[in-house]
């Protein structure tokens, strides 16, 4: 079923708040990463975002206070 014009506009507005980063994860790490994310109740994307924020804070950067719960980010 094709998207309505209103839905297309809504999707574009939502997606304009995000950027996409692509990373390569070694196959050996993927299984453990997925298991760690699952055991913490997060998606892999959410787990990575949480880890990124924690590292930024530890390194002295102030991570922005962003509600990214819709991306699985917590």
pLDDT tens digits for range 50-69:
999 999 999 999 877 766 66
Cα–Cα dist 55/63, whole Å:
9
- Does 74 map to a domain? no
How many domains would you assign to the chain? 1
Task: Domain of residue 48: give its range.
Answer: 26-63
- Does 44 map to a domain? yes
- Does 69 map to a domain? no
- Does 35 map to a domain? yes
Residue 40 per-residue DSSP state: T
pLDDT, position 69: 62
pTM value is: 0.70
- 4-25: per-residue pLDDT in tens? 999 999 999 999 999 999 999 9
- Let me know if 74 is exposed, middle or buried by CB neighbors in 10 A (0-12, 13-18, 19+): middle
């Amino acid at each position: 079923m094709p998207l309505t014009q209103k839905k297309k506009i809504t999707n574009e507005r939502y997606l304009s708040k995000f950027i996409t980063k692509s990373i390569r994860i070694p196959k050996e790490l993927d299984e453990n990463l997925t298991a760690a994310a699952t055991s913490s109740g997060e998606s892999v994307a959410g787990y990575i975002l949480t880890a990124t924020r924690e590292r930024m804070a530890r390194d002295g950067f102030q991570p922005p206070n962003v509600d990214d719960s819709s991306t699985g980010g917590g």
